[in-house]
Structure 1
Amino acid sequence: MSTSSPETAPEPGQVEVRHDLAHVPLAPPSRTSGVFEVFRRRYLLRLMVRREIRARYAGTAFGLAWSYINPFTRFLTFYFVFGVILGRGNGMQNFAIHLFAGMVLVNYFTESVTAGTRSLLSNRGVIGKMAMPREMFPVASMLVSLWHAIPQLVILVVACVATGWVGTGPLWVPDAVGMAASLLGFVIIMVYGTAFGLMFSCVNVIFRDFQRIVQTFINIIPFSVPMMYPYYLIADGERIPTQYHDLYVANPVAEAVMLIQRGFWLPTCDGPCVVKPATGVVQPDFVSDLYSRGFIMLGIGLVLLALGQFVFSRLEKTVPERL
C-alpha cells in the first residue's frame, strides 16, 4: 500500500500574496502585435481566406472558373479598344502581353484595396463573436485578392509561351533578373494593398461613404500606369510636360507594372520592343532606374504599412460600437 507525503502547509501570508494582483501591470484586453500577430495565427488566417473564397463563389455554376473568365474578357475588351481601334499598340511588339502583364498587378491592387476597405463591414458578424486581431480582415482580403491573381498569372505565362511558338518572336525564356523584378512588383502591391486596407477599413466604418470615394480613385488606376499605352508616351514630353514625368513614375502601381512587364513582356521581343511609328526611332521600354526605384517604392511602402497599422490601432477601438 503506497503512502503519499502530506502537502506542505502554506506559510502565513502566502495565499494572500498569491492572489494579490496589485503588482501586475494593467494592459488593454485588445492589445496585440498588429499585423505580426495576424501571421502568428496562421491557422486562423487560412480559415478566413478559405471562408472568403468559398463565400465569393457560393451558389455559382462555374465556381473558380470565373477567376479566369472575368480577366480574360476584360483583357479582350481593352485590347480591342486600345490596341485595335485606337492603335496604341503601333510600334510595339506583343502589345497584348504588355497589356495583360500590367492588368495582372492592376487588378490585384484594385481588388485588394477595394476588398480591404470593406473588410470590417463585410465581417461585422464575425467581429462580434470571435476574439481575434481585427487586422486579420484586411490582411485576409489582400491574400484572397492574391489568390485571384494566380489564375491571371497562369494565363499570362501561357500567352508568353504561345507567343514564341505561334508568333515570329523568340521563344519566351524567363530570366532570373526578370523573375526577380516581377516578384518585386508583386511584393510592392502586397505591401501597399495591405497598408491602404488597414487605413481605409477603419475609416470606412466611421464614414460609410468612404468606400465609394475609394472606388472613384480606383477607377483612375488602369489609366495612370503604362499598361494600355507604352511608357515612352509619358517620357517623350510631347503630350505631357516633362516636369510631370517624375510625378507619374512616383506612382507605386506604375512602378510595379513596369517591373512585371520586365519579367514577362521584354523577353518576348525580337530586338527593340518599342519603336516610334512616325520616325522609326527606338524608344525606352521602362524608366531608366527601374530596379532602384522598385526598392525605394518598397521602402516607402513599408513606412506606409507602419502608418496604416498606427491609424488602425487608433481607430479600431471605435469599430464595435459603430458596427
Structure 2
Amino acid sequence: MACGFFPIDEAGRAAVTTIDLSEYDVPGRGRGLADVFRWRYLLRLLVRKGTATRYRNSVLGWTWSYVKPGIQFLMYFLVVGYIFNGNRGITNFPIYLFAGLVAVNFFNEAFGNSTTAIVDNRALVKKIYLPRELFPISAVTVAFIHFLPQLAILLVVALLYGWLPTFAGIGAMLLGMALIAALALGLGLFFAGINVRYRDAQNFVEIIRMVSTWASPVLYAWTLVAEKASGWVLHLYMSNPVTIAVELFHWTFWEPTVPVDAVEQPHGFPPHFTVYLTVAVVMCAVILIIGQFTFRRFERTFAQDL
C-alpha cells in the first residue's frame, strides 16, 4: 500500500526530497532532565496518580500524613528526650526535634520513592516510550506534596512557641528544601537505574535511609559531634547536604524561639557554615550529574530487565 508519492522530474526519475530532520527525535532517546519541561503534562498525570493511589481504599486517607509523623515525633520525644535525657542543653527541644524530623522525613520519602519509581511503573515502561526521568521526578514531587502536611504541623507548633516568620527564615527553609530535593533526586536517579537490574540496590537505599536520621543533628545537637570528633570527620559530617538542610530548618523554626540570653545552645549557624553550605551545594550538583549519567546508562535495557 502506498504511503505517499515521490515527485517525478522531467527524466521520469524519482527526485530525492531533502527533509530537515533536526526537529525530529530519535525514538527511545530523550534529553534527560531537560525533557521535564517538554513533558509537563505527563509529569502532572504521574504526580496525580501518585497522590491518588497513596491512600487508596484507606478509611483515614490523608489523615495518615498527619498521624504517622506525629507518632514518630512522640516516640523520639519520649525515648530520646526524656528516657535518655537527650533534650539536655537544648531549649524548646520539641521544636528542635520536629524541625529536623520534617526535613529528614522529606529526604527519606523522596529518596525511597524515586529509587523504586521505575520498578513500580514497569507496566508503562514496557509498553510505551516516555522520558524515564519523569518517574523519579514525579516520585520526588509526590514526596514534597506529602511533606506539606508535616510542614503545616511544624508551623502551628512553632507559632505556639512564639515563632514569627521572617524573609530570611523563609529563604533558609526554601534553600533547605531545594538541597533535599536535589540530593534525593540525584541519589534516586542513581539507584533507580541500578535497581532495575540489581534489586540489591534497594537494600542499600534502606540502609542509607535508616542512617540518615542519626547522621544529622536531629535527635541531638551538632555540638555533641564537635566534642567527640574533629578534623576531617567533623568537616565531612557538617558538609552532608541533609545536615545543612536540617540546620537551615533549625535556624528557621527553632532559633527564633530560643531566648537571646539562653546559654544552653549556641545561637546562629555552626562555624564555617557558609563553606559547608557551598560544599553541600556542589555535592548535590555532582550527585545529580552522576545520577543522571548512571540512569541513562541503564535506561537502554529497562524494558528487557523488567
TM-score, normalising length from structure 2?
0.91
Alignment partners' CA distance in 1, 2:261 and 2:275: 23
Give the direction of change, closer, same or farther, for the CA distance of 1:163–1:318 in structure 2 (3 Å limit): same
Alignment partners' CA distance in 2, 1:14 and 1:107: 69
1:316 Cα deviation from its structure 2 partner? 0.3
1:15 Cα deviation from its structure 2 partner? 5.0
Give the direction of change, closer, same or farther, for the CA distance of 1:187–1:98 in structure 2 (3 Å limit): same
1:274 Cα deviation from its structure 2 partner? 5.3
SS in 2 for 1:61: coil
Report the AA paired with residue 15 of structure 2.
E
In structure 2, stretches of 5+ residues that fail to align are: 1-6
Alignment of 1:257 onto 2:257: no
Matched with 1:98 is 96
Matched with 2:288 is 305
Aligned partner of 1:191 among 159, 169, 182: 182
- Between the aligned residues of both structures, percent identity stands at 35
Contact 2:9 2:15 in 1 (8 A): no
Alignment of 1:177 onto 2:168: yes
Matched with 2:192 is 201
1:292 Cα deviation from its structure 2 partner? 4.5
Matched with 2:259 is 270
1:178 Cα deviation from its structure 2 partner? 1.7
Matched with 2:297 is 314
Deviation string 1:283-323 (CA, Å, 9 cap, x unpaired) is 46532233453243223312221221111111100111000
Matched with 1:17 is 16
Matched with 1:287 is 270
Report the AA paired with residue 132 of structure 1.
L
Q: Which has the larger radius of gyration?
A: 1
Deviation string 1:163-203 (CA, Å, 9 cap, x unpaired) is 12xxxxxxx11122221111111000011111111110010
Alignment partners' CA distance in 1, 2:43 and 2:269: 37
Alignment partners' CA distance in 2, 1:292 and 1:42: 36
Alignment partners' CA distance in 2, 1:136 and 1:32: 11
CA RMSD of aligned residues (A): 2.2
Alignment partners' CA distance in 1, 2:274 and 2:110: 24
Q: How many equivalent pairs are there?
A: 298
Report the AA paired with residue 192 of structure 2.
S
> Where does 1:196-235 land on structure 2 (aligned, <5 Å)?
196-235=187-226
Alignment partners' CA distance in 2, 1:49 and 1:186: 18
TM-score, normalising length from structure 1?
0.86
Contact 1:259 1:290 in 2 (8 A): no
Contact 1:39 1:45 in 2 (8 A): no
Alignment partners' CA distance in 2, 1:66 and 1:273: 36
Alignment partners' CA distance in 2, 1:37 and 1:289: 37
> Where does 1:66-215 land on structure 2 (aligned, <5 Å)?
66-164=64-162, 172-215=163-206
